[in-house]
Amino acid sequence: MSMRQLFTLIYFLLIIPIWSDAQQSDLPRVIFIYGTSCAGKSSLSKQLVQRLGNQWQLIDRDEVIEERQNSYLQLNPNSSKQQMRQAFDEIESHADEYVLEKIRYSFQNQLHVIIDTQSHHNLRKQLEDCHSLSVLVYAPLTLLLERDAQRNQHLKRSEQRQFYAKAFIFETFAQLYTLKNPQNEGKKVAFIDLIDWDKSLFDYCLHPQTYAFFASFCQASQGDILWSKEDFDLLINSQQQSLNEAVEMVMKCHIYLANLQSRNMLSFMKN
Quote the pLDDT of residue 21: 40
Q: Are strands 177-178 and 30-34 parallel, antiparallel or unpaired?
A: unpaired
| 169 falls within a domain | yes
**Total number of residues shown for the chain:** 271
Q: State whether residue 138 is helix, strand or coil.
A: strand
**pLDDT tens profile 94-105:** 878 888 888 888
Residue 248 lies in a domain: no
Residue 251 lies in a domain: no
| Mean of pLDDT over the chain | 80
Which residue positions in the chain have pLDDT lower than 50?
A: 5-28, 264-271
CA–CA dist 108, 13 (Å, integer): 28
Instruction: Tell me, yes or no, whether 66 lies in a domain.
Output: yes
Sequence-ordered strand ranges (E) for the chain: 30-34, 56-60, 112-116, 132-138, 177-178, 188-191, 225-228, 234-237
31 - beta bridge partners?
Answer: 114, 133
Residue 6 covered by a domain: no
- pLDDT of res. 58: 93
Please indicate, yes or no, if residue 144 is contained in any of the structural domains.
Answer: yes
User: What is the reported pLDDT for 3?
Assistant: 54
| Nearest Cα residue to 134 out of 150, 123, 145 | 123
E strand intervals along 129-207? 132-138, 177-178, 188-191
Q: What is the rounded CA–CA span in Å between residue 132 and residue 118?
A: 16
Give residue 182's domain range: 29-235
Give a yes or no: residue 254 inside a domain: no
CA distances from 256 to 89, 203, 252, 253, 259 (A): 37, 44, 6, 5, 5
Instruction: Count structural domains, the chain.
Output: 1
DSSP 8-state secondary structure symbol assigned to residue 76: -
Distance, CA of 99 to CA of 97 (rounded, Å)? 6
pLDDT in the model for residue 26: 47
Q: Is residue 268 a part of any domain in this protein?
A: no
Residue 156 sits in a domain of what CATH number?
3.40.50
